[in-house]
Structure 1
């Protein structure tokens, strides 16, 4: 039977969240979806950590006057978390927001930081949960199995591979 997102039970996980986000709307939504929430003073301010998937998200608003502080915060975040994502919360309609995003992209190019622009709480939740779910067990195993099956199917049905087999 094929996996179907609509008929599968809702995915629930444990999330460690910075106490600075205790009253954030995203936390309320995650609680409403019955995820297990743990607050911690020891994680970076603005951080969401998904221990079962090994991913960490840092929620930040691009403020041009706070660029140097954000860069330092991101340096520390990238050093601590190997699968790190920046949730850049902004409308991305102004030149200042785009300049800030460009600066961050250039500064952290080649590191393990990925930037996810988000405009509202729905984007924050959807982005985090999609990435965390896709990188957690058993979902990552299921994705890996599907990729292997697709690769085998492509190899079996490829005319190029047939031609190579005939030559050898």
Structure 2
């Protein structure tokens, strides 16, 4: 779902935006909102915070973008990361990264030395 911060109403609940987001969450398994703003200032972060607080605990993810190019890049990244062959690759890379961090972490080394 694409949301421009310039179009964000003063009271989003009255404008029906939150109803659209609720319906979007119910229909889609992986929900992403691309929040478009040329500059992410205090107002834009407050809008993002309002959306996050309203839909806390749902499967909604918010991706801030600055322009159309970033929006397209974000959509391509979402498509790649959620498609079947790429999901397995991403999971494998995350597992390898986690294992690498655990192996080279001084905290884990200290815990190993203490035999905890």
Give the Cα–Cα distance (whole angstroms) in 1 for the partners of residues 10 and 48 of structure 2: 14
Alignment size in residue pairs: 109
After TM superposition, the score normalised by the length of structure 1 is: 0.51
Could you report, residue by residue, the CA deviation over 1:5-54 in whole angstroms, capped at 9, with x for unpaired residues? xxxxxxxxxxxxxxxxxxxxxxxxxxxxxxxxxxxxxxxxxxxxxxxxxx
- The unaligned stretches of length 5 or more in structure 2 are none
1:2-151 matched pairs, under 5 angstroms: 58-62=1-5, 63-65=8-10, 67-68=12-13, 69-93=16-40, 95-151=42-98
Structure (1 or 2) with the larger CA radius of gyration: 1
Could you report, residue by residue, the CA deviation over 1:48-105 in whole angstroms, capped at 9, with x for unpaired residues? xxxxxxxxxx001232247222111101111111210111112345554343222212
Higher helix share: 2
- The unaligned stretches of length 5 or more in structure 1 are 1-57
Higher strand share: 1
After TM superposition, the score normalised by the length of structure 2 is: 0.70
User: Is the partner of 1:64 in helix, strand or coil?
Assistant: coil
Query: Which one scores higher on RCO, CA 8 angstroms, separation ≥ 6?
Result: 2
Match of 1:25 in 2: none
CA RMSD of aligned residues (A): 3.0
